[in-house]
Every structure is written in structure tokens, then in C-alpha cells.
Amino acid sequence: MFRFIEKSFLKITQILGLLFATIVLVVAVIVSYNKIDVKADDKIDTPVVKFADYQKLIRNQKAKISKNLDNNQRFDKTFNAYIDDIVSALSGLSDNVIDKTDLKQKVKISSKVKLSQYPQSVSVAYVKSLAKLTNQVAIVDVKVNMDELVNWHDQSFFQQIKEKDKRNFLQVGPLRIEKSAYSAMWEVLAIFMLLVIMLAVLRIEQNTRK
């Protein structure tokens, strides 16, 4: 029984080896033909460089720069508008609650320092959230510790940002795992082919000795 399985396995190995060798031979012939064909053709097409292509490149660069400027201007306008809302709400509070000296400058600098590592979308979301909170405080008109309130807001806001980033990562994770699985599968197949070839060589050596 074992000998029958061994013979069948070796026969399949021989067929696979022959098929693989045939594919390699065909690829080698095609590559060789292409190289010969390239060497035989000494004619070289003259490169064509058009001024219109350069003009198109410059136009695209200007359009990109203009778009970036527009985006930055739009961001600055929105960001500063929310800063004004925050300052307006804080200005209506009692002097005992908050120090109003250079209030706008303090709020703007403090916000930008906190958001320096975040994209513009997060920056806008932050000042929007803080503006909403300060307006709620102004409407309720209660005595609060603003430093503690802002710290609580920041912790809550950035914690939610981290959780959102984590959820996005978990959604992308399965795709990366799937790609890794395909890569591992091909590596296993390559190892299997090497083992098959090694077994075939050993079998040939045994037959030669007999």
C-alpha cells in the first residue's frame, strides 16, 4: 500500500515538474525573443518634448497651490469664528470666574497648542465643541471653575477622538490580515514545490544507485 502511494506521489511529482519546466522554458523563449528583437532594432524614436506639456504642468501646480490656499483660508475663517464665539461667551461671565485680560489671544494660542498634532478637521471640531460648551455655561449663568471645566472638556473630546481612530483601525485590520493570509499561502505553496522537487531528486538518486 505504501509503495503504491509512493509511486503515485512520484508520478504526480514528475508531471508537476514537467509542467513547471515547460512553463519556465516558454517564458525563457519569450524573454529571449524580445531581447533579440530589441537588439535587432537599432532605430530609436526621437524624444518629443512639447512646451504645451510644460504649460500644463505649471497650470496644475498653480491650481493645486490655489486649492491649498483656499482650504487654509476657509479653515482660518471657520476656526477664528469659533474662537470669537468662545471669547464672546466667556466675556459675558463674571470677572471672578475668568480673567479677561488678553482673553482672545489666550484662547487662540491655547487652542492651537493643544491641536498642533491634529489635522484641520479635528481642530475645527474641537473649537466648535468648546464654543458650544462655553455658550451653555453663559446661558446657565452659574459659577464654575473654568480651568477645570476646560480640562474636563479636553479629556472627553480627545478620548472620543482616540476611540474613533481605534474603531477605524479595527475596520481596516481585517483587510490587512486577509492580504497577509494570501501572502502566507503563496509562501507555503513555494515551500511545497521545493519539497516536491527535493523528493523527486532523492528518488532519482535511489534509482541510479539500484
| Block mean pLDDT (10 aa), the chain, length 210 | 64 68 68 54 71 86 87 93 93 84 92 92 94 90 85 93 77 58 63 64 60
Distance CA 134, CA 85 (A): 9
The pLDDT of residue 78 is 94
Distance CA 32, CA 6 (A): 38
Distance CA 153, CA 116 (A): 17
Q: Which of 107, 98, 194 is nearest to 138 (CA)?
A: 98
Query: Exposed, middle or buried by CB within 10 Å (0-12, 13-18, 19+), for 84?
Result: middle
The secondary structure of 92-110 as a DSSP string is TS-TTT---TTHHHHHHHH
Cell of 173: 485590520
The pLDDT of residue 38 is 46
pTM of the model: 0.53
Distance CA 100, CA 44 (A): 76
The pLDDT of residue 69 is 87
Task: Tell me the residue type at 140.
Answer: V
Q: Which of 156, 197, 169, 208 is nearest to 15 (CA)?
A: 197
Contact indicator for 145, 98 with CB cutoff of 8 Å: no
Reduced to 3 states, what is the DSSP secondary structure of residue 85? Answer: helix
Task: Tell me the residue type at 62.
Answer: K
Please state the domain extents for the chain.
69-151, 170-210
The pLDDT of residue 129 is 94
